[in-house]
Amino acid sequence: MLDPSPQYTGYTAYEFLEPGTDIKEFRYARQIGRVPPYAGLELSTEQQQRTTRLLTEETVISLHEHVQVFPEDMGQLRDHIRQGREPTAYEGLSRSGLTAVFDNGMDGTCCISSDAGWKYQDVLFDLGVRMADLAHQQYVIKGETLADIEHAKQSGKIAHIFALEAATPIENEVDRLDVLYGFGVRQMGIAYSEANTLGSGLKERGDGGLTYFGDRAVQRMNKLGIAIDVSHSGDRTALETIERSTKPVFITHAGARSVWPTNRMKPDEVIKACADRGGVIGLEAAPHTTLSPDHPRHTIESVMDHFVYCVDLVGIEHVSFGPDTLFGDHVGLHTAFAGNLSISQAHGHVDHETVEYVDGLENPAECFYNIIGWLVAHDYSDDEIRAVVGGNTLRVLEEVWV
C-alpha cells in the first residue's frame, strides 16, 4: 500500500452536508487498517522498489470495484442504504495507486425505495448524488473518456468510471441506456444472476440466451460506447452477447470454472470466446468466489491460481483484474443481502473454508500493490505486468468507447 497521494486534500464524502440535519450519521469502517496488512509477500528491497515503481508509473485500472465505505455495524446497513448516500472512500483510494477504477456502485442492493433493488429511479438517484459529491472535491475526477484516464495519470488523480453490474433497471426501455450514458455510465452488465428482459443470469435453472430485446440493447450499447460485461450472465447468454456485439466484451470480475467448479466462474468456452473477439477477463476476489484446489482458503494465492490458468488458456493479453472489493465487511454484506445477490445459487455448495476476508485483496487500497508484488515475485516482466494491470483494458476501451 502506498502513502496518500499528494493530490488528496483530506476531503470526506458529503462533508458539504450537515450531519444530523441533511444526512444521518453512521460510524463507518476504517478505510485503512481494518484488517492486518498482508504478510504473505516476502519481497526483497529491490522487488519492493520495483513494485512501487510499476504501481506509480504505469496506468493501473481496476475493471471492477465498489469504492464505497460501509457502516462499521453492518446491522445498520439497510438504514444506511435507504438514505441514498453511499460515501466514496476517498482516503482509501488515495493510497491505492489506481489511475482509473470502474465503480459499480451498489445497484443490486440499491434499496432506497424497494428491498428488491435494481429500480431505475433508485439507480439514477444513486448516480446523481454520487456525482454531486464528486463535484465537491478535486482528487477523484469523473471518468468518461480515454482522455479523462490520461488526464488522471498526468495529474496524479483517479478517474472514477460509473458502471452497472446489470442492465436490469432499463426494463424494456432501450432508450434508458442513453439516459444512463448521459449520467456517465460507461460499462454495463447484461444480467445479474437473475434473468431479465435482456437475457439469463448465471443462477437460473435454464439459460434461454440473449433475447431479441437483448440484441437491441447490445446494439445500442455498441453505438453509445458502453462497454459490455457478462460476468454474471448465464453461459449461453454470455456466448451470444459476445457473438452479437460488434465490439469486444469484458468479463470484468470472474474466474475459471475449470479451477473452481461453481456457476460464478466462467467455463473455458466463454473465456476463449471473449478472448477470440478481442475481449478481456478480469480476475475476481470477492470472498468465497475464486477459490482453488491448491488454495481452498481464499487469499490472493487462490486468485492468482485463476490468473495463471487464464493466461495459459487465452494468453496474457486477454487477462486483467477486477477484484470486486470494497471498504468494510464484505462477508457481512453478502450475509445481509444473500437473497438479492443470489449467493447460494451463484456460488454453489462446493466445500471450502470460510474466511472473514480475502487476505491480500481485502480492499481497493491494497489490491494492486499486492497484485503487482505477486507478479514481481513470480518473475513477470515489466511489459507483462503493464499489460495485465491496465494496458489490456485500455486496448479494449480504445475500440469500445467513442
Domain membership of residue 96 (yes or no) is yes
7 within a domain of the structure (yes/no): no
| 22 domain-assigned | no
How many helices (H) and strands (E) the chain has is answered by 15, 9
pLDDT score of 257 more than 90: yes
Q: Coil, helix or strand for 341? A: coil
15 part of a folded domain: no
Task: Give how far Cα 274 sits from Cα of 54, 68, 280, Å.
Answer: 27, 29, 7
Model pLDDT, residue 342? 47
pLDDT digits (tens, 9 = 90+) for 268-310: 999 999 999 999 999 999 999 999 999 999 999 999 999 999 9
List the domain range (segments joined by +) for residue 386.
45-400
Q: Which three cell numbers stand for residue 67?
A: 469504492
Residue 103 is assigned to a structural domain of this protein: yes
Q: 345 lies in a domain?
A: yes
Quick check: is 163 in a domain? yes
Per-residue burial over 207-242, b = 16 or more CB atoms within 10 Å of its CB, e = otherwise: bebbbebbbebbebbbebbbbbbbbbbbbbbbbbbb
- What is the C-alpha separation between 316 and 301, in angstroms, rounded? 18
Q: What is the CATH number of the domain that holds 54?
A: 3.20.20.140
Check whether 346 has a pLDDT greater than 60: no
Question: For residue 353, is it within any domain?
Answer: yes
* Residue closest to 152 by CA, chosen among 102, 103, 99: 99
Residue 344, pLDDT > 60, answer no
User: CA of 226: how far to CAs of 14, 146, 222, 398, in Å?
Assistant: 28, 13, 6, 12
pLDDT digits (tens, 9 = 90+) for 90-145: 999 999 999 999 999 877 677 888 888 889 999 999 999 999 999 999 999 999 99
pLDDT reported for residue 220: 98
Q: Examine the pLDDT at 6 and tell me if it is beyond 90.
A: yes
pLDDT at position 343, please?
A: 47
Query: Total domain count for the chain?
Result: 1
Region 20-26: what's the mean pLDDT? 94
The set of cell numbers assigned to 377 is 515475485
8 Å CB contact between 287 and 273: no
Q: Of how many residues is the chain composed? A: 402
